[in-house]
Amino acid sequence: MIGRDEQGVFEVRWGGDRFMRGWSATADELTTILHRYGIPDPDLTNPDVSTMTVENPEEVRTGRLDDDIDEWNRLLRSRADGPQRAQLREALVALRDQIPADGAELRRWLAQRAEVVNAEAPQVDRVAVFQGGSPVRCDPGPEFPAWSECLEWVDSQTIVSTVDRVWGSFDRMERHRRSLDAFCLSLRAADSAPLLEAWIDDFTIGRLRQPVQLVRVEGPAGPVHQLRADGTHRAHFARVFGLPVMALVKISQLPRPLIVIDHPDHPGPDALGAGFGRVASLYMGLRARGLLEVDGDPRRPDFMDVWQLRRVCAEWMLLPPAEAAAANHAYDKVFPGALVEATGLTAEQLYDPHRWARAVVLPPSKLFRARLWHENRKRKRLFARMHDVPTAPAFGIDLAQPDGGVNASRQGPELTADKREH
């Protein structure tokens, strides 16, 4: 059942007991959100669904699940008492019997458990690209982007990024810091049925009636999750011990128009992390492999262009190669082999930053190489003036040559077309 009012607030009930609420400026945005949740052909023709475009929203707040506190409490209680609670209870009883009583032994035991998870499934910086703080440059988009919330039980193995990057370790300045030790001690003390049920309520609903908050990011075989708000300690505890977690799940923000440009003034063509500047070459390469679709059929921009994204295999593939490859690897830990099947690339090409770059970043255009040469010449002349070094010829490079007298194949493996992996 789908409903949307004239202020853009919508509610969706599907799959038995699943419930979602949110806000969208248009009915098309609502359709996109429903597609993400596996509702391919939503019926928006019934009278309960307004198709009006909302230009000056006044009721955005009412799209939140906790807008009505009584309804929020009922929803929390209903979801916390779902069938997954029995699974969590059974796992906690087994875990409680393993927890060492001695404090020093407990810390060693926890460190060993966390070490295994960090080795097998290290966290990544991000998988959500349009949430803000991402290196992907895009148009600011609308003041009020579409969004949705639902209470879901989530497999903690799908959580691949949190604000504390090492599982089981929290770098905080809080006066009374929570830790996995405290979770274990309180669980060990919950040695009766009523105490255990109270512990489960604290873990699922939260002391302030705020569950773990996750951002859902789609992939070709299913979603993974990123945590950027409440519930870090609970998420870490669940991940270290393989427990299900009840979470307030929000969709990652819908794509905004991408700013497409190759930057000759960035550190260099072989910088695959924060210094990566060949954004246009990356996006063109993703399009060539069918991993990215945009409106129209734009050519590689000589300077800057703006593209409207229609589809991407996984949004983290828009990140610089070092981050994208790490996220690819994290996704494979959750859905083994899914990206190999979806992309046609090998595991080595997906997970190694240099191989990923050679596979999906097109060689630079002649215009880009010329701009890069001019930028390098300016840097060298500035260095020469600062250090009183003769400027012609500069460092044995023939400035009369557009590529500095250096064969393009020696400027980095990703610059040579015949060395790109197919």
Long-range CB contacts (within 8 A, 24+) of 15-20? 17/78, 17/82, 18/150, 18/152, 19/75, 19/150, 19/151, 20/148, 20/149, 20/150
Quote the pLDDT of residue 76. Answer: 96
> Beta 18-23 vs 147-155: how paired, if at all?
antiparallel
The rounded distance, in Å, linking the Cα atoms of 119 and 114 is 9
Number of neighbouring beta carbons within 10 Å of residue 13: 12
Residues 6+ apart with CB under 8 A from 271: 277
How far the first Cα of the chain sits from its last, in Å, is 46
The rounded distance, in Å, linking the Cα atoms of 260 and 302 is 10
pTM: 0.84
Cα dihedral sign for 276, 277, 278, 282? Answer: positive
Compute the C-alpha angle 383/385/388, nearest 5°: 100
Q: What share of the chain is helix, strand, coil (3-state, %, to 5)?
A: 40, 15, 45
Question: How would you write the pLDDT of the chain (422 residues) with one tens digit per residue?
Answer: 999 999 999 999 988 889 999 999 999 999 999 999 988 888 888 889 999 999 877 777 778 998 889 999 999 999 999 999 999 999 999 999 999 999 999 999 999 999 999 999 999 999 999 987 778 888 887 888 899 999 999 999 999 999 999 999 987 665 556 689 999 999 999 999 999 999 999 999 998 899 999 999 999 999 999 998 889 999 999 999 999 999 999 999 999 999 998 876 555 555 787 778 889 999 999 999 999 999 988 887 767 889 999 999 999 999 999 999 999 999 999 999 999 999 999 999 999 999 999 999 988 665 555 555 556 666 677 777 777 766 555 444 343 344 444 444 434 334 343 444 54
Q: Which residues pair with 306 in a beta bridge?
A: 259
3 state SS of 227: strand
**To which residue do tokens 């050679």 refer?**
358
Quote the pLDDT of residue 261. Answer: 86
Cβ(263)–Cβ(367) below 8 Å? no
Domain ranges of the chain: 1-61, 69-251, 258-360
User: What burial class does residue 12 get, using C-beta atoms within 10 Å of its C-beta: 0-12 exposed, 13-18 middle, 19+ buried?
Assistant: buried
Compute the C-alpha angle 245/90/193, nearest 5°: 100
Quote the pLDDT of residue 415. Answer: 38
User: Cis peptide before 122, with omega less than 30 degrees from 0?
Assistant: no
Cβ(348)–Cβ(355) below 8 Å? yes
> Beta 18-23 vs 309-312: how paired, if at all?
unpaired
